[in-house]
Structure 1
Amino acid sequence: MATERDPLLVNGSSLERSKHHHPGPLEISRSTRYGILAGLWSANFLSALNTTLVATLLPSISSEFNKSNEASWLGTSYLLAACTFTPLYGRLCNVMGRRGANQLAVSIAALGTLCCGLSTNMEMLIVARFLSGMGGGGINTTSTITTSDMYTIRSRGLTQGVASLFNGLGMGLGGPIGGFISDRFGWRWAFLIQMPLFVFSLVLTSYNLRYVTPGKGKSPKEVLMRIDYGGSFSLLISVGSCLVFLSMKYNEDRSWSDPWVFVSLALAGSFFVIFILVELLVAPEPILAPHLLKQKVPVLVGISNFLVSLCNFSVMYFFPMWFQTVALTSASMAGLHLLPNSTSMSIGSLFAGWMMHRTGKYKLINLIFGVFPFIGITLITLMREDSGPLQMWLSIIPLGFGNAVVLQTMLKSWMAVGTGFGQVFRGLGQVGGVAISSALFQSKLDYELRSRIHGDNAAEIVSKIRHSATLVGKLSPELQRIARDSYAVSLRAVFTLAACSTFLAYIARLPIPDKNLGEKKADQRPKSSDRRPSALPSATEHAVDSGSDDENTRPLLSQRGRGRKFSTLESEDAIHDLESGGSARQQ
């Protein structure tokens, strides 16, 4: 049926296209949509799994290569790549199409994971983890973009809740699966066993992901020219140099006069300044939109994302270590203690998505359940060797459930302030959660061991205990007691840092206003021909859907039509014909 939006005259090119009609994202069959989602979410699960997989593999890997003090790089290299390369995939979705960009990300992640399993030294493993992270971040981005194509803003709350269910399962099961496989088959198989599921994802998306996203044409060259290469590169060097500084100064315990320490610190500061200048003056579509830093809501969302992610990854990477070094359990048993976290994160994500879908609001559930992580991390911090099984197994449940609700509700806040902006802070928080907590842990552990161990061979003993966590269980009773106490104090410092970060995140979210997520009626879904092909809702779409025009939305609307755009994941107006090669083509 014709509507007021349909053109009165149909030109020749439109007639030609109608002869070879490809369905839009809202016109595809239910079975096709479910096939797409199965392919996307299976890759999402693997991407999330790989963020935490190494948490219980660290002792085994570091003991084999005898480089426990470098083990944190196995986490930070993956997260650093995901943080800096994630925003680029929003642009690649315009050039390569949804299918092409997603399959590029999945292929890179699969190659990196395969190289992890075949690594012969720590350096090769770290590089392989970085490669895997380059694809892992893109998997999340392309999945979010594709899902947003197929559902209206109100329905996305529930759909993204289901997507977050797979993310939560992946993050939560990474530790248990890694520990179980490491104990029985060796740590390499924790990576190699993922290959069939990567292939499964590629097959499903190749067969099903063939819809067309309509819009005004932009050539691939135009889209590529708008990618923020300078910002991504300078951010990569700045954060990477900061990680080198933290590793060399606190993990390696080098002096301030060491070139590795002061040069890496200088590079981190210099490239951070370059990053800011690029974002302010050069980038056509900056990752970190400068004008958003002048507004209350974007800044508060960014701060919350950073602190919540810092808390999450501090706990997920160091919680299993407490059971391996203090309670002296096996890697698989240590990993199993993350299973309640996996379950609670999955339930929390689904619950938040369902509540937002049902009520159209997210402020109240954020206020109520946002305090849960602080309760959970407080219980974890108070854990002792003689603590009961309830505290050891269930303390992490409020943390996982609360953080899942917070991240899911903050996802809706991103839509009004620019998705790329929120992703940068979340990515930095993930990197910081591993790097900062690792530096704190190693520094505190070195101090505790040196203050308790004395004698001629004290320095050598301290170094061995720091470099191999699995050595703790093999020490003499006297040294073992010292090592376990030192690890307990050091890990408690990490958990205290996580408690402070989640408490500050809750305070930061208090002033964020509520938003109406739109009408629930299905008949209000826009037609495929009327939809913009945006990766996630732009500021304009959010304002229209919510009926709002507040102080936080108007500045974004005023930017439209200018030379620079500010949401990296908001796509250009381009036609994406995924069936004919997935490239953007002019209308």
Structure 2
Amino acid sequence: MLPSISSDFQKSNEASWVGTSYLLATCTFTPLYGRLSNVMGRSGASQSALLFSVIGILSCGWSNSMQMLIVSRFISGMGGGGIFTTASIITSDMYNLRSRGYVQSIGGIFYGLGMGLGGPIGGLITDRFGWRWAFFIQIPFFVLSLLAITYNLTYVTPGSGRSTSDILKRIDYGGTLTLLLAVGSVLLFLSTRFSEGLSWSDPLVWVPCASAIIFTILFLVVEIYIAVEPILPTYLLTERVPVLVGFSNALVAVCNLSVTYYYPTWFQTVMLTSASTAGLHLLPNSICISGGSLFAGWMMKRYGRYKTMNMVFGILPFCAALLMTQMKKDSNPVILWFTIMPLGFGNAVVLQTMFIALVSHLPESQMAVGTGFAQLLRGLGQVGGLASASAIFQSRLDTELHHHFPTGDKQTEELIKKIQHSARLVATLPPETQHLATESYAASLKSVFILAASASLLAYLARLPIPDKHLGDNGPAKTMDSDTESTTSTASSNFEEIRDDEDKIVRPRHRCMS
């Protein structure tokens, strides 16, 4: 949908902000939902996440400018990450370590199918009815989800005895705010310097760069010296496995986001296909994400090992990204359709096995904190990956267009800006001009795929030192005392470890939906 949306607003150079703003909100606000699920209950936290998502989605459909759309996606991101977080917390309520990977993999099937169907369905709706209806059509599904949660999610989890006000006081607001400002400043710097092409002397370039440094320092100060429940537990920086898993997660996210956002763009700007056809090219990837998730979960449940599987299948994303750099307009259709498949399967296996590798190497008291640490780095990788891909793409596109269209008059400069700001314009250009424009887009997208390949290779190398470990049939974790639980139930975790003793969890009267 992005080329159609950004072309309507004549802001193709700002298109990546639509995705980046969502990921920025997810990265900074998701850690809070773990604590909210303790304060408000699982149902209340889930309903809050859905509410933010609905407000954001409706605002997206009503947006009358690119800026409004970007803000709307940020609001929906505040809820979108919470939906995943609360679902993962509920899963951790009910399953032991060896089974949890399998259960998470079943969730991965639906996640993969959603990613795959979202592209072609969104493109089809955009082609037939306009991109706004691709947002409005989601609302009934959110209403259905809200009803399902209200009816099914009925069990309660008493906390450690602290009052709601005491728990709210322990939330790391300072860390969340400084992280948001630091990451946001980095994104603004990348956008103004590379997407907009402003010079270093421009205040819109050096001010965000300086503020990014300042807020990063403030974030570290808050996390080390001030926060009671830091979203970045700094002591884990001395632990080898959490650091390696977090580093791998961040780089895998860079690879995934670069390809997800720019692979369909290749078909719209180089092959000149419709939005729906471009979206369909993500479907093989989503099918492989589902298959890879289920495969990894089943293998770990059956054999209780993860290392060999990770090493064998973890190299596939690098191979797929390399193949993408070799795509051409006249490439065999089979190559164009199936090149992306190893990337989805391989990264799904990696993410499933790395989650289990992490929790299996942490003591029980650090499990929630450690997984939150890894998830935070993954979120930063998502935001940074998309922003970096956009910066590389726009910078290379500007260079290529000026190479193919030597400047010397105002008319040529205006044409270059139009091509940069409206991806759909390429299909309407005269044949000779169109050929030069598609060549420029192809070269720019190749740079993005090189970034994805590099990130995938570095992630593979980072995982090599992670040792293997047999996954025993561990039962649910034992109840901890209130001081320990206060520390380990920190909101940083997307997979928060909730204690499962009968005296701590009141079982549901109805079905429990995870």
Same fold (TM > 0.5): yes
Gaps of 5+ in 2: 510-514
Deviates more, 1:560-569 or 1:284-293: 560-569
3-state SS of paired residue (2:352): helix
Specify the alignment match of 1:482 in structure 2.
436
TM-score scaled by length of structure 1: 0.81
Specify the alignment match of 1:507 in structure 2.
461
Q: Deviations over 1:121-166 (max 9, x none)?
A: 1111111100000000111110000111122222211110001111
Deviates more, 1:179-188 or 1:205-214: 205-214
Distance (Å, rounded) in 1 between the aligned partners of 2:302 and 2:464: 22
Distance (Å, rounded) in 1 between the aligned partners of 2:159 and 2:24: 34
Match of 1:212 among 150, 153, 156: 156
* 1:279 to 2:279 alignment: no
**1:494 maps to amino acid:** V
Could you say if the C-alpha distance between residues 395 and 561 of structure 1 is closer, same or farther in structure 2, counting changes exceeding 3 Å? closer
Q: CA RMSD in A?
A: 2.2
Specify the alignment match of 2:421 in structure 1.
467
Q: Deviations over 1:317-354 (max 9, x none)?
A: 00001000111111111111111001000100111111
Could you say if the C-alpha distance between residues 89 and 215 of structure 1 is closer, same or farther in structure 2, counting changes exceeding 3 Å? closer
Distance (Å, rounded) in 2 between the aligned partners of 1:384 and 1:309: 25
* 1:448 to 2:392 alignment: no
Q: How does 1:236-255 map to 2 (within 5 A)?
A: 236-255=180-199
Q: How does 1:292-307 map to 2 (within 5 A)?
A: 292-307=236-251
Contact 1:349 1:408 in 2 (8 A): yes
Distance (Å, rounded) in 2 between the aligned partners of 1:444 and 1:465: 13
Match of 1:568 among 457, 473, 492: 492
Match of 1:228 among 172, 187, 200: 172
Contact 1:441 1:494 in 2 (8 A): yes
Specify the alignment match of 2:387 in structure 1.
435
**2:439 maps to amino acid:** D
Could you say if the C-alpha distance between residues 578 and 92 of structure 1 is closer, same or farther in structure 2, counting changes exceeding 3 Å? farther
Q: CA deviation at 1:577?
A: 7.1
Distance (Å, rounded) in 2 between the aligned partners of 1:379 and 1:225: 51
Match of 1:336 among 262, 277, 280: 280
* 1:382 to 2:326 alignment: yes
Distance (Å, rounded) in 1 between the aligned partners of 2:384 and 2:100: 29
* 1:493 to 2:438 alignment: no
Distance (Å, rounded) in 2 between the aligned partners of 1:125 and 1:358: 46
Q: How does 1:537-576 map to 2 (within 5 A)?
A: 560=484, 568-569=492-493, 570=496
Distance (Å, rounded) in 1 between the aligned partners of 2:486 and 2:422: 56
TM-score scaled by length of structure 2: 0.92
Distance (Å, rounded) in 2 between the aligned partners of 1:284 and 1:564: 12
3-state SS of paired residue (1:518): coil
Contact 2:58 2:135 in 1 (8 A): yes
Could you say if the C-alpha distance between residues 561 and 146 of structure 1 is closer, same or farther in structure 2, counting changes exceeding 3 Å? closer
Q: Deviations over 1:56-94 (max 9, x none)?
A: x11111111111111111000000000000110010011
Distance (Å, rounded) in 1 between the aligned partners of 2:76 and 2:491: 25
Specify the alignment match of 1:537 in structure 2.
none
* 1:87 to 2:34 alignment: no
Distance (Å, rounded) in 2 between the aligned partners of 1:444 and 1:339: 28
3-state SS of paired residue (1:213): coil
Q: CA deviation at 1:359?
A: 1.4
Q: Deviations over 1:464-485 (max 9, x none)?
A: 0000000001111111111000
Contact 2:13 2:420 in 1 (8 A): yes
Distance (Å, rounded) in 2 between the aligned partners of 1:208 and 1:561: 26
Contact 1:91 1:223 in 2 (8 A): yes
Could you say if the C-alpha distance between residues 140 and 562 of structure 1 is closer, same or farther in structure 2, counting changes exceeding 3 Å? closer
Contact 2:34 2:490 in 1 (8 A): no
Could you say if the C-alpha distance between residues 423 and 562 of structure 1 is closer, same or farther in structure 2, counting changes exceeding 3 Å? closer
Aligned-residue identity in percent: 58
Q: CA deviation at 1:579?
A: 8.6
**1:486 maps to amino acid:** S
Distance (Å, rounded) in 2 between the aligned partners of 1:123 and 1:110: 19
* 1:199 to 2:153 alignment: no
Q: How does 1:107-146 map to 2 (within 5 A)?
A: 107-146=51-90
Distance (Å, rounded) in 2 between the aligned partners of 1:533 and 1:315: 43
Contact 1:288 1:566 in 2 (8 A): no
Q: How does 1:352-431 map to 2 (within 5 A)?
A: 352-415=296-359, 416=362, 418-431=370-383
Distance (Å, rounded) in 1 between the aligned partners of 2:312 and 2:156: 41
Could you say if the C-alpha distance between residues 215 and 83 of structure 1 is closer, same or farther in structure 2, counting changes exceeding 3 Å? closer
Distance (Å, rounded) in 2 between the aligned partners of 1:77 and 1:347: 29
Q: CA deviation at 1:213?
A: 2.6
Contact 2:171 2:491 in 1 (8 A): no
Specify the alignment match of 2:262 in structure 1.
318
Contact 1:94 1:572 in 2 (8 A): no
Q: CA deviation at 1:560?
A: 4.9
Contact 1:213 1:533 in 2 (8 A): no
Q: CA deviation at 1:515?
A: 2.6
Q: Which entry has the higher C-alpha Rg, 1 or 2?
A: 1
Distance (Å, rounded) in 1 between the aligned partners of 2:212 and 2:504: 40
**2:421 maps to amino acid:** H
Could you say if the C-alpha distance between residues 578 and 227 of structure 1 is closer, same or farther in structure 2, counting changes exceeding 3 Å? farther
Distance (Å, rounded) in 2 between the aligned partners of 1:98 and 1:127: 27
* 1:64 to 2:27 alignment: no
Gaps of 5+ in 1: 1-56, 535-558, 581-587
3-state SS of paired residue (2:440): helix
Q: Deviations over 1:221-251 (max 9, x none)?
A: 2221221111111110000011111111111
Specify the alignment match of 1:288 in structure 2.
232
Contact 1:84 1:235 in 2 (8 A): yes
Contact 1:97 1:576 in 2 (8 A): no
Specify the alignment match of 1:49 in structure 2.
none
